[in-house]
Amino acid sequence: MNAVTQNEGIAVGSTISQADANALKAGDVVGGGFYAGQIRQADGLYILVVAPKDGGEHDDAPWHTSTQRIDDARSFFDGRANTAAMVRAGVALAVWASGLNVNGFNDWYLPARDELEVVYRNLKPTTEENYVYRAGDNPSSVPAGYPYTADTPTQTPVVAFQSDGAEAFDDESWYWTSTQSESLSSYAWGQAFGLGSQNNNRKDNEFRARAVRRMKVQ
């Protein structure tokens, strides 16, 4: 299913009740896309919504063509703020994400490192063992994420997000986050969706990207 209308799902705006948020399961239709999990921001708790693949995923592209440091694009949890900083710096991938209008919503952005980790953890496409060297540590997710084991997380039970499904992340690809390296101006964080590896990668590498939006839990 990749035709999600803004009238489908539990919520269609920018907020959601605690009860409705707690009732969601990974892959449920909500807020113009699909529920991926919960993430804590500086101003409270949010649910994370992954855009439909059709219209919400970008083919391989560089994070940026410049090695210039973007000082306000280093948050591990706030992809919206990172993306806004990237747009101000003229980063084409961020301009694409922030310019999306998918299923009636125009507040999409590139996920931060911890946000994309939530997506992998809850919507993992493969049955492969996970990369276990430190990947998966996530203090921003709710509940907090601990480093992967070979067997955890497991493949998502949501058929559409399993390998080759209509909404599945490409399990042979890396996906960009909006989180720039803290120490290396020419690097930014990415996540592999085959084994779950997380790493800093040169900005001129060409990876895929998937937009997200978030809804505040009230």
Show me where the domains of the chain are located. 53-211
CB atoms within 10 A of CB 154: 11
Cα-to-chain-centroid distance, residue 140? 13
Distance CA 32, CA 93 (A): 21
Nearest of 171, 173, 154 to residue 163 by alpha carbon: 171
- Kindly report the pTM of this predicted structure: 0.93
Predicted confidence (pLDDT) per residue in 5-33, tens digit: 333 443 447 999 999 999 999 999 999 99
Predicted confidence (pLDDT) per residue in 153-166, tens digit: 999 999 999 999 99
